[in-house]
Structure 1
Amino acid sequence: MSTFGTLFRVTTYGESHCASVGAIIDGCPPGLPLTAQDVQVQLSRRRPGQSNLTTPRDEKDLVHLQSGIEHDITLGTPIGLLVRNEDQRPKDYSETDLYPRPSHADWTYLEKYGVKASSGGGRSSARETIGRVAAGAIAEKYLKLVYGIEIVAFVSSVGKVTLPSAAGPPSQAADDDDDDDDDGAVEDALSPEFVELLRTVSREQVDSHPTRCPHAETAERMTKRIIRAKDASDSIGGTVTCVIRRVPAGLGEPVFDKLEAALGHAMLSIPATKAFEVGSGFRGTEVPGSRHNDAFVRRADGSVGTKTNWSGGIQGGISNGEDIYFRVGFKSPATISQAQETAQYDGTPGTLAARGRHDPCVVPRAVPIVEAMAAIVIMDHVLMQNARKTATALLPPITTLPPTMVKPPQPQETK
């Protein structure tokens, strides 16, 4: 449906070419300082027309806060917000009255509902993500103030152009299934350079190039690849990597709402996504357990952490206090301006020559969407865990179980 979350609930509305798009956010704690600019900064990173690598649709995406806030303070009541669609061209989609676009959602929406939006993909359009990004900005403001959480996403590949330090797909299997002599040659799940990038990369670095890749040489190669697709009236896909820092341990609701499951749900709900991996991901399947396991260590401040972080900050579906990182795969955009041999809704063969304004590659604009959905997931699980901790704190201390079964009293947590 159109609502995501348990305690921090986000409902989005609107189609690509209707009067407005937006969201209702229910469950935001009262007392949070919040202005339209807190939301606008992320919407401006998502909006179209930012460079020649994106769609030329000219939308300013100015947010209007409608409810739930007075004197720049949240009231705890539902926050309503909207963004008006201003640069609409429904006539650009007249061909889709006859033809479902290959690999787009025109056909499946009609099959499901028996009726579909006349232009722009309706709810399947990336225009729907405006409400997500706005809600994510609100969640992120709370998480930053209370926990110091940082969320940074960046483009890690476009087509076959990949960050040199990023983990790649699994290598081709050996011909002999019984030959495991290559285990010693397997590298770590992630290179030291990529681990350092995850630890230090900032949004300023990411936004310094239109591709939103924080590696200058790779970013230029990505630009050339996107331009090549655009000049050919074609498209190309890519991946976005996201890191979430300073996440408290204990988030996640096993067994069916594990934290990585919630993140996967959130990321795969974004338009054009086709893949999700957390931590070492598919690369981790190549590394023996003796090298992949995250050994525990005592840190200088007395806390317990892990020596490595191939788990991506999540073990048993629960955050362990380390940085959470994951990667999302976006397919090449379905709408292209090339003539394509396909069939009409009634099955009659024909040629579709789509018009309209389309992204040749969605990943640069997907970065703030990934960040937003990550913030919404973490916010929801923070509220659930805090509710559990508060309820437990009202009970008498546990004295009937062995000490190894009960977490000892902890000093006051610092922000």
Structure 2
Amino acid sequence: MAGSIFGKHFQISTWGESHGKALGVVIDGCPAGISLSEEDIQKDLDRRKPGQSPFSTPRKESDKVEILSGVFEGKTTGTPISLIVYNTNQRSYDYSEIAKCYRPGHADFTYDEKYGFRDYRGGGRSSGRETTARVAAGAIAKKILAEFGVDIMAYTLSIGPVSIDPAKFKRDEIFNNFLAMPDQEAAEKAAAYLHEIKEREDSAGGMIECVVNGLPSGVGEPVFEKLDAMLGKAILSIGAVKGVEFGSGFNAARMTGWENNDFFQYDEEGHLTKLSNNAGGIVGGISDGFPIVFRAAIKPTSSIHRMQKTVNKAGQNIELQVEGRHDPIIVPRAVIVVEAMTALTLVDYLFERIFSRIDLIKKALL
């Protein structure tokens, strides 16, 4: 299977399946000398792991990470870093019936069409559990970004019809409720909505917003590898994501040029500022030094207990009730995955920037 490697200068290769023995990732290109422990990685994995709220799958996994290589005496060595997370609470028998049919919204049919074979236990490689490896690698990428003062903050912007009120935004609140919403009132309303959805044996979707502060200007490549294009690729590679927009996003289609352009201005101290940020911090595929802002649309969880229409491999039309343990909403657990994929992309492009100018190369080498 191709497509499990991401990045050029800071490259990761993920492996493992939802109901296999373990999942993991190999990171190549991490500089030597960075302080790194399993606890550093575990903090992010704990934000993603299942079984922590009434709105996540009851599957109980500790998601304890082990560093197998690339770290010595608490520092990265510059050699490949290998991480492993063991699966400990699989219930593969929950999926025995779907071996003969295709679940709506899942990759069952397309995997069969491509490979002529699939691991039906929880979706195998197509399962959202694959993102465990991404989050582990992303935690290392965020440690590198912290060396440059780059901060990534993602949160739940909306769930179903409930959206946060920007006037009530509190960053700490993201970690104070099960839904990762920075607005307590919105979180309470969203929780009530999700309880109704669960009663109907259905699921919900939502929006995640991500804000990056501290990234210097000049990061990104023009033409085919624009920074927003590569961030879009990274975020869309998350299985539940169905759309990405930067800055004013799709609303730009309803604006005039005068409304959408970000006007430049020098402040009283001579610093360059912008009067708006409709570009979302990226112009011409290159960062402009202002906050990068984007949003990701997350689809409702495909696995629902309600009866659905589908087909089986025998060519029959059937009705299917999906068994097993599933999230009624993916959004809160996907927040840290969005942060991870953002971090992995930005580290790769910060390293790329060094090679864009001779003075930067000399500074790095001399």
Aligned to 2:190: 222
Shift of 1:72: 0.8
- Judge conservation of contact 1:239–1:330 (CA < 8 Å) in 2: yes
Aligned to 1:149: 150
Distance 1:158 1:150, change over 3 A: same
**2:76 is the counterpart of 1:74:** yes
Partners in 1 of 2:9 and 2:268 — Cα distance? 36
- Spell out, residue by residue over 1:291-348, the C-alpha distance to the aligned partner (whole angstroms, 9 max, x if none): 2211112245533232211111000110000000100001111111112122102321
- Of residues 270, 284, 296, the one that matches 1:316 is 284
Distance 1:393 1:124, change over 3 A: closer
- Judge conservation of contact 1:305–1:321 (CA < 8 Å) in 2: no
- Show the 5 A alignment for 1:6-405: 6-145=8-147, 147-165=148-166, 193=167, 197=169, 202=171, 204-389=172-357, 393-394=361-362
- Spell out, residue by residue over 1:122-169, the C-alpha distance to the aligned partner (whole angstroms, 9 max, x if none): 111011001100111000001112x1111111111111112244xxxx
Aligned residues: 361
TM-score when scaled to structure 2? 0.95
- Spell out, residue by residue over 1:215-256, the C-alpha distance to the aligned partner (whole angstroms, 9 max, x if none): 111111111121211222111111100000011111111111
Partners in 2 of 1:150 and 1:392 — Cα distance? 23
Shift of 1:350: 1.4
Partners in 2 of 1:253 and 1:271 — Cα distance? 26
- Judge conservation of contact 2:173–2:184 (CA < 8 Å) in 1: no
Shift of 1:285: 2.1
More moved, 334-343 vs 314-323 = 334-343
The aligned amino acid for 2:153 is V
Shift of 1:290: 1.2
Shift of 1:44: 0.2
Partners in 1 of 2:76 and 2:290 — Cα distance? 30
Partners in 2 of 1:325 and 1:134 — Cα distance? 23
The aligned amino acid for 1:51 is S
TM-score when scaled to structure 1? 0.84
- Judge conservation of contact 1:151–1:371 (CA < 8 Å) in 2: yes
Partners in 2 of 1:21 and 1:388 — Cα distance? 36
- Judge conservation of contact 2:30–2:76 (CA < 8 Å) in 1: yes
Alignment RMSD (CA, Å): 1.5
The aligned amino acid for 1:151 is I
Partners in 1 of 2:334 and 2:315 — Cα distance? 34
Distance 1:393 1:32, change over 3 A: closer
Shift of 1:393: 4.9
- Judge conservation of contact 1:237–1:332 (CA < 8 Å) in 2: yes
Between the two proteins, what is the percent identity of the paired residues? 43
Shift of 1:391: 6.4
The aligned amino acid for 2:163 is T
The aligned amino acid for 2:301 is P
Q: What secondary structure does 1:223 align onto?
A: helix
Partners in 2 of 1:384 and 1:301 — Cα distance? 31
Distance 1:301 1:21, change over 3 A: farther
Distance 1:335 1:269, change over 3 A: same
The aligned amino acid for 1:94 is S
Aligned to 1:2: 4
Q: What secondary structure does 1:282 align onto?
A: helix
Shift of 1:390: 5.1
- Spell out, residue by residue over 1:177-221, the C-alpha distance to the aligned partner (whole angstroms, 9 max, x if none): xxxxxxxxxxxxxxxx49xx5xxx53x321111111111111111
- Spell out, residue by residue over 1:329-377, the C-alpha distance to the aligned partner (whole angstroms, 9 max, x if none): 0111111111212210232111211111000000010010000001001
Shift of 1:388: 2.5
Partners in 1 of 2:154 and 2:89 — Cα distance? 28
- Judge conservation of contact 1:95–1:352 (CA < 8 Å) in 2: no
Partners in 1 of 2:322 and 2:43 — Cα distance? 32
Distance 1:391 1:13, change over 3 A: farther
Distance 1:393 1:42, change over 3 A: closer
> Could you say which structure has the larger radius of gyration?
1
Q: What secondary structure does 2:223 align onto?
A: coil
The aligned amino acid for 1:271 is G
Distance 1:80 1:295, change over 3 A: same
